[in-house]
Each structure stands twice: as structure tokens, then as C-alpha cells.
Amino acid sequence: MTALQSSIDAVRIAARAADKMKATDIVAFDVSQALGITDAFLIASASNERQVLAVAEEIERQLHEQAHLDAKTREGLTEAQWVLLDYGDFVIHVMHDETREFYGLERLWKDCPSIGLDLPQEQAA
């Protein structure tokens, strides 16, 4: 089983929103085989708490406007070190740079296929 195309499309919308807000190191993984309860994870970094919140808010806004999707749960908004937006079929992680380095989510999901996000920096490479 692989991630649903609708999940991949939504993750790409979220990635573009994060990129627009100057998030860094934006990556996505197809975790459908490893987890079975969700299709994909998107991980993005921000350099400070204000930016973490701004990135998360823009992702929510764009997913609502473009895909008519709203997060089922939102966590971490108070501390703004790691905001988790759970959309059911996919999960968005917006993390402060230091928090992301500490938890190393990429290490956990490195065996899962990555999802191409079609961001400008990917196309330039």
C-alpha cells in the first residue's frame, strides 16, 4: 500500500505554504506501510517560535482554502517548539530547528519512501 494521491497532493500544498513562509529543510515521507494509520508525514523547520507559528498558520490556511481540509487536532501551539497538525490521512510537523535536531524524525522514517514536493529548490537541483 502507498499513500493516497489526495494525501500527496495535500502534503504538496502544505509544503508550498511552508516554503512561502521561509521554512527550511522541508521533507515528506510516505509512512503508509510503516504505520498504517496515516499516509504521509511532512516535516519543516523554522528558526524561532514566531516563525513556527506563522508556518503552521499558513499551512492551515492554504489547506483550508485550496483543499477544503481542516486539521482534526492541533498540538504544540502554546510552546511553538513543535506544532503538530493532524489531518488524519497525513500529519504535518513544524519544528523549531533545535527541536528538530534533538528528535531527529528523519532518522526514524529514513527507510520510508520520500515524497517529491515539487518545490523550487527541488526543481533547481
76: phi then psi, degrees, rounded to nearest 5: 85, 10
Q: Which residue, among 95, 39, 37, has the nearest Cα to 28 in the 3D structure?
A: 39
Tell me if 72 sits within 8 A of 88, measured CB to CB. Answer: yes
| pLDDT for position 122 | 61
Kindly state whether residue 121 falls inside one of the protein's structural domains. no
Kindly state the cell numbers that stand for 76: 504544540
Query: What is the number of structural domains in the chain?
Result: 1
CA angle 7, 84, 41 (to 5 degrees): 35
Kindly state whether residue 123 falls inside one of the protein's structural domains: no
Its domain, for residue 73, covers 5-116
* Residue 122 within any structural domain of the chain: no
Residue 82's CATH number: 3.30.460.10
What is the full per-residue pLDDT of the chain (125 aa) written as tens digits?
A: 688 899 999 999 999 999 999 999 999 999 999 988 999 999 999 999 999 999 999 999 999 999 999 999 999 999 999 999 999 999 999 999 999 999 999 898 989 999 999 897 665 44
Per-residue pLDDT, 1: 60
Residue 52 within any structural domain of the chain:
yes
Burial of 39: CB neighbours in 10 Å, binned 0-12, 13-18, 19+? buried
